[in-house]
Structure 1
């Protein structure tokens, strides 16, 4: 193949390139002289294997006639091109045109697939375009080129693509540049029902109308068609804000009669509180109650109705389950709604929820079960296991744009988020609503610092999380719904409970605490963007710092993992301890069971095959008793099951004879989350921020003894090692001793009446360690519940000394 290109530095020179398999084998230099309307050969040279040979000009004619000459038009100006073409015609040479990439030529390559892209106003092939992008992004510390390649296909302009990754780029000027993809809203061809046409009492039709609900959404209409009013059990799977909750309400009120009860289960205290308020507001003629676990450390909501005789009973999974495990009952339940049922995939809570659902089916065989779920990876399998008919609608109520924005450092993120909030606030939807934003961060503390930062920029923002007093949360919710707030800053932990009409969500981080977001958490969070009655579309902005890491994974890598992967499958793994707890929960809920009864209930849901060894073990350890072939719970078993106590931990408490009852906390409840501050990471030259990750422990305990540190770095390291790593165990630093020592220090500070925030600050100052106050509050609450359970066990077995010590320790932790 022969290709003709013009040497731009020399007007009268043309290069004829002999190409084989994309490589230039021989280069011919043809010096031309103008003869009227054409060129004629003046000089002719051949370059092969870096050797140049001078040839007679007439020999060029043989070359030109030997094969078709492909002319790269991009390398010629028009007048020179015409003279060259006329020469070829006069010599009877065949020619055609081709588009070549000059960047390939620089590397002595030829790409004949065309140059569909531009770079610096020059045509460029796909290979070179991607190569130039990769070089630029690598220089900026960006490894993943997925977004760049998507943008390249969209814009065909390398310069425009690279502009996205420029620190000075303003994404609010042209949001189409940062858009990773768009999830469209395209309703199915289904019948949409009006509220006035439904077969429910007029009183409830009026209630719905007063809330502005005059017709059903698509997923609600599908449920009606599939037999919602006939009492069928449903697994309702659809996007956030598609109206799943109303399906449960319709089910209950469609056949409501005096004495009927609606049981509404949710995973979070905050979500349960919100539903409690919503149901009280929406159904003032019906009694509503709430059953959740209350904190002994944080402030709790006041004036809560906890009666089990209410028409509508709302509670967390554990709050309701504790009633049954304690031997209690709730009469008259006709409808059971299980919100966020995809929580079955949670490693810790999934088995507990699976067990609860299985027992509810036995307790209330005539009730209608409605499971509400975000999208999961195995919907049909899940619905079959749960014995529910699948009602699936995967279309969003409004389109959703997903954007990726690269930022430099935390300051760059804050600057960009501020601009995005202002942009949203300046836009009015066709429904007449101003844009508002939910900003997701990774801790309660960050929620407040971000909200304060935005306020200094003239943005009306508020921190919103479950640690706020109930009254404050309600005030923030009301302000947002009335459009009096530009933005709220919240955490991923509250994503399921955030019910704000936001036009956009932004991610200041892709973690919760220090853990990277899971796919189902991410899906819930982006689902908060855009409401059909408020907005024309929703927007999700993921802000990425190429230097940020979550353990060994970069923020950039995790971003594209979340964007490119669909929902995970729900699957629950049972080990022996979980199976023992499930068996005990069945026996504590019911009485006078046969082994066959227990087996039948155990094997419902996701559980494995029942093993009678579970019964033998529980009986041996005094958790159950068998009389006349009937199995019942013992007092010890009741304490263990009703407090959701891990059975090995329960046996440890039963056998405990020590004097320091704090040991129960240290052995059964090690403090889970301790991190290095970014300052300490820099001093010790450690990438991972988790104190107990293998990498961190190795570098702190071994490598840093050999590394040259600053004097300050040595002092910090010595303080850390002597305070928490001085046990001398042969397994150090991988033993549990450092976690126990941290727990001891936390309780010492609490005993000195320091608040969780003050304790967090002390750890930061003294040791360069980061402890989130929310994690600490949860741990202290768990410690209190653990000690309260231990106190009951000590009382049961006559261990008065340990019982009195436990009561005293609880008072210290509570802060009396």
Structure 2
């Protein structure tokens, strides 16, 4: 048995702990009072503090205890006079004491623990880790916010890492920003000296000179690609972080193949916004080489004065397009219009795993590989869970570079919703005040979960900020892109939906929300979005800030809270969702592929190149029974009906709806508004309505609870006169059907959508349409959404016209044609 005696000198007494076998809980605690005698300081009274009854120990027994101890210790920082008396008393009995540092919090709680330089700092002193954890838990419990288990674990890890309790507790009070204690980790870059010089590349002289204007050497991933045979025509799948230079890999192959007369370059992206940006970049960069760039984005454009004029002919050297834009040409049987293809670059190829659009990208890749077998295919992605499997299926060599071009600091900042605008403003101002070594100001992208929040948050910041999302018009988006690219705009607030989109040169990315709509973002999406922070040609480092609200969730079905999701995202590994889709999507892809070949054998070849699993015989038989295609021996051809369905990207169910409506001779405007509602409408005064009625009023017009409130006469009577008049206009124009399920029968949405088309037919552009909706109904919408709806209506009217013609419904066909022209403008 090891026995220690620990003493601490207070003003009028010495507190003594007896410690057995180094245990933190003492065997006993006593108060020692020393008296001066003619022989010097001697023990006078020794009162036991442990036990139920007050008990005194005889002085001689106490001395025996001291003599039997393996070690006598005296804490530092006690009362000086009493310390001297205690040490002199020990000396008289030929004893001595070691000076030790102990945890004062343990001592106050009648426990024992040493502290040293590695202990936890707290209020200008050192305490043990156990006490620090207790204090941290006490602070967490006393906070107004419920912190989940994972958050507590994370904060304990921060404590262990920083050895500073004050700084850890300050994470619960984010108004005092300190990057040293909010930093979760740093993703470091790998130093790399490129040995591949642009001058030594086998490129055309004028192209080489253009590249040398930017750099004399290639970036690491570019060097790896060239060394692996990029300029020898090898197909490649390049996986590398955002801003590592992937795009130039595709450009080097495409431009050189073009100059070598091997054929034009297709550069395919998932979003119209990204296609627009690439079109501008390529037009500016390569027109100097006499190269013409055009764009294919799939939509039949609505004519307005705000539309940006672009070259759209397929007779160009570079065709930049969305996946659907180029696939439309293949599905329409116009593959030959593309001409000779030398290079196909497919950006953001991980979109194959997208639940809604993945099957179309899969089909497009298969059809292009079949239609352009001699072309060089370059696939690009920043985030893929199983790159080796992807590369094998795509028939491409994997080029994997998993280092960032600049270091990335990732910060975790717990806060409340009402604190966010102030904190974001502070972070954005600090970043914008910084100049990198490349003389660029720091700019910030803020991701939020909805378009409405983009506008709300941008307006709430005390630094210049602009909203940016797909609901804006092309003209509005272009204006924001230009200002940001020039460094004139400190902040853009955007949605997670544009994470794979426009290449903004931001140094800082802030996650105001970790959701997309009401669903948590995935690890893959998070990595894609956070990868936007820090560009090597602009910045020295990137910053990512997550701002989770402890205890928050976006729907009752979510078990995790936002701060727990934040930690999962920071720690998480990507999971592959796989490229799988159902029979309806498989039918669409088989029918689309019949547009590029009439051979069953070639059809099998196309679908063997795809990720999806196809029972081709069964699917062809099903399409035959639907009369979408005809099969004679080894030959398949689409029927006229089938051609229309394939070219218009119509799912089988929608095709039958149109056919049945045409045969019933329904009016085309009714057909298209029943096919697709305009539901991106918002009550402008939803907050005021909610306050007046003491309810949570949804801002979206066609959300059940919102229609309930407008449908209820008693509710309307409680509203402000102006708002009541707007709501009554809405109810009288759109909520007058006699359906049993009214207002949830769909009639309101159909009538509202028809109203938008009729306003367009009167010659109004989307801006004017929105103005009328606001003035008459108090309903607002985004220009981009109105543009998108009108574009979709034109496509559907085109399908109605053609299907009506096939089924000899001349009146419906002519009416659809006239309506289409009026909507186009």
TM-score by length of 1: 0.84
Matched, 1:585 2:592: yes
State the partner residue of 1:319.
Answer: 325
Distance across 1 between alignment mates of 2:63 and 2:738 = 89
Match of 2:646 among 641, 647, 650: 641
Deviations 1:641-668 (A, max 9, x none): 1111111221232223374666655765
Question: Would the aligned equivalents of 1:67 and 1:94 in 2 still touch at CA under 8 Å?
Answer: no
State the partner residue of 1:425.
Answer: 432
Match of 2:273 among 270, 275, 280: 270
1:125 deviation in Å? Answer: 2.9
State the partner residue of 2:657.
Answer: 652
State the partner residue of 1:168.
Answer: 175
Question: Would the aligned equivalents of 2:237 and 2:397 in 1 still touch at CA under 8 Å?
Answer: yes
Question: Would the aligned equivalents of 2:674 and 2:750 in 1 still touch at CA under 8 Å?
Answer: no
Question: Would the aligned equivalents of 1:263 and 1:312 in 2 still touch at CA under 8 Å?
Answer: yes
State the partner residue of 2:497.
Answer: 493
Distance across 2 between alignment mates of 1:574 and 1:344 = 10
Cα distance change, pair 107–20 in 1 and its aligned pair in 2 (3 A) = farther
Cα distance change, pair 785–74 in 1 and its aligned pair in 2 (3 A) = farther
Deviations 1:494-525 (A, max 9, x none): 34343333332333444445544343333233
Match of 1:414 among 389, 407, 421: 421
Gaps of 5+ in 2: none
1:35 deviation in Å? Answer: 5.0
Distance across 2 between alignment mates of 1:108 and 1:242 = 58
State the partner residue of 2:286.
Answer: 283
Distance across 2 between alignment mates of 1:374 and 1:772 = 30
Question: Would the aligned equivalents of 2:673 and 2:753 in 1 still touch at CA under 8 Å?
Answer: no
State the partner residue of 1:782.
Answer: 792
State the partner residue of 1:252.
Answer: 254
Deviations 1:217-271 (A, max 9, x none): 0100001111112211111111111111111121123343236211111111111
Distance across 1 between alignment mates of 2:97 and 2:160 = 31
- How many residues are paired up? 791
Cα distance change, pair 465–737 in 1 and its aligned pair in 2 (3 A) = closer
Distance across 1 between alignment mates of 2:773 and 2:133 = 47
1:442 deviation in Å? Answer: 4.5
Cα distance change, pair 278–772 in 1 and its aligned pair in 2 (3 A) = closer
Question: Would the aligned equivalents of 2:293 and 2:317 in 1 still touch at CA under 8 Å?
Answer: yes
Question: Would the aligned equivalents of 1:6 and 1:76 in 2 still touch at CA under 8 Å?
Answer: no
Cα distance change, pair 17–260 in 1 and its aligned pair in 2 (3 A) = same
Match of 1:529 among 525, 533, 544: 533
Distance across 2 between alignment mates of 1:725 and 1:54 = 92
1:83 deviation in Å? Answer: 4.8
Deviations 1:316-358 (A, max 9, x none): 1000011111111122111110011111121111111111112
Distance across 2 between alignment mates of 1:202 and 1:16 = 86
State the partner residue of 1:379.
Answer: 387
Match of 1:159 among 166, 173, 177: 166
Distance across 1 between alignment mates of 2:490 and 2:708 = 48
State the partner residue of 1:503.
Answer: 507
Cα distance change, pair 373–229 in 1 and its aligned pair in 2 (3 A) = same
Matched, 1:392 2:400: yes
Distance across 2 between alignment mates of 1:475 and 1:690 = 27
State the partner residue of 2:75.
Answer: 73
State the partner residue of 1:59.
Answer: 61
Distance across 1 between alignment mates of 2:252 and 2:607 = 31
1:310 deviation in Å? Answer: 1.5
1:159 deviation in Å? Answer: 1.6
Distance across 2 between alignment mates of 1:789 and 1:597 = 28
Question: Would the aligned equivalents of 1:236 and 1:390 in 2 still touch at CA under 8 Å?
Answer: yes
Question: Would the aligned equivalents of 2:26 and 2:112 in 1 still touch at CA under 8 Å?
Answer: no
Matched, 1:617 2:625: no
Question: Would the aligned equivalents of 1:462 and 1:489 in 2 still touch at CA under 8 Å?
Answer: yes
Cα distance change, pair 795–726 in 1 and its aligned pair in 2 (3 A) = closer
Question: Would the aligned equivalents of 2:175 and 2:423 in 1 still touch at CA under 8 Å?
Answer: no
- Secondary structure of 2:29's counterpart equals strand
State the partner residue of 1:185.
Answer: 189
Gaps of 5+ in 1: none
- Secondary structure of 1:140's counterpart equals coil
Match of 2:245 among 243, 246, 263: 243
Distance across 2 between alignment mates of 1:559 and 1:758 = 42
The aligned runs of 1:790-801 (5 Å cut-off) are: 790-800=800-810
The aligned runs of 1:404-803 (5 Å cut-off) are: 404-410=412-418, 412-443=419-450, 446-447=453-454, 450-451=457-458, 457=462, 459-465=463-469, 470=474, 473-474=477-478, 476-546=480-550, 549-551=553-555, 552=558, 554-569=561-576, 571-591=578-598, 593-594=599-600, 596-656=601-661, 657=664, 659=666, 664=671, 668-669=675-676, 737=744, 741-748=748-755, 751=758, 774-775=784-785, 777-800=787-810, 802-803=812-813
State the partner residue of 1:199.
Answer: 202
Distance across 1 between alignment mates of 2:327 and 2:210 = 31
Bigger mean CA offset, 746-755 vs 215-224 = 746-755
The aligned runs of 1:117-128 (5 Å cut-off) are: 117-128=120-131
Distance across 2 between alignment mates of 1:782 and 1:72 = 83
Distance across 1 between alignment mates of 2:798 and 2:196 = 52
Bigger mean CA offset, 772-781 vs 760-769 = 760-769
- Secondary structure of 2:581's counterpart equals coil
The aligned runs of 1:228-239 (5 Å cut-off) are: 228-239=230-241
Give the alignment's Cα RMSD to 1 decimal.
4.4
Match of 1:225 among 222, 227, 252: 227
Distance across 1 between alignment mates of 2:481 and 2:174 = 35
- Secondary structure of 1:550's counterpart equals coil
Cα distance change, pair 597–482 in 1 and its aligned pair in 2 (3 A) = closer
Question: Would the aligned equivalents of 1:424 and 1:436 in 2 still touch at CA under 8 Å?
Answer: yes
Cα distance change, pair 199–91 in 1 and its aligned pair in 2 (3 A) = same
1:175 deviation in Å? Answer: 2.7
Distance across 2 between alignment mates of 1:700 and 1:131 = 51
- Secondary structure of 1:241's counterpart equals coil
Deviations 1:291-336 (A, max 9, x none): 1123656957443222222111111100001111111112211111
Match of 1:340 among 336, 339, 348: 348
Question: Would the aligned equivalents of 2:471 and 2:783 in 1 still touch at CA under 8 Å?
Answer: no
1:583 deviation in Å? Answer: 1.7
The aligned runs of 1:31-50 (5 Å cut-off) are: 31-35=32-36, 40-48=42-50, 50=52
- Secondary structure of 2:546's counterpart equals strand
1:612 deviation in Å? Answer: 2.0
Bigger mean CA offset, 683-692 vs 484-493 = 683-692
Question: Would the aligned equivalents of 2:349 and 2:379 in 1 still touch at CA under 8 Å?
Answer: yes
Question: Would the aligned equivalents of 2:438 and 2:538 in 1 still touch at CA under 8 Å?
Answer: yes
Cα distance change, pair 15–586 in 1 and its aligned pair in 2 (3 A) = same
Distance across 2 between alignment mates of 1:18 and 1:669 = 79
Cα distance change, pair 253–742 in 1 and its aligned pair in 2 (3 A) = closer
- Secondary structure of 1:132's counterpart equals helix
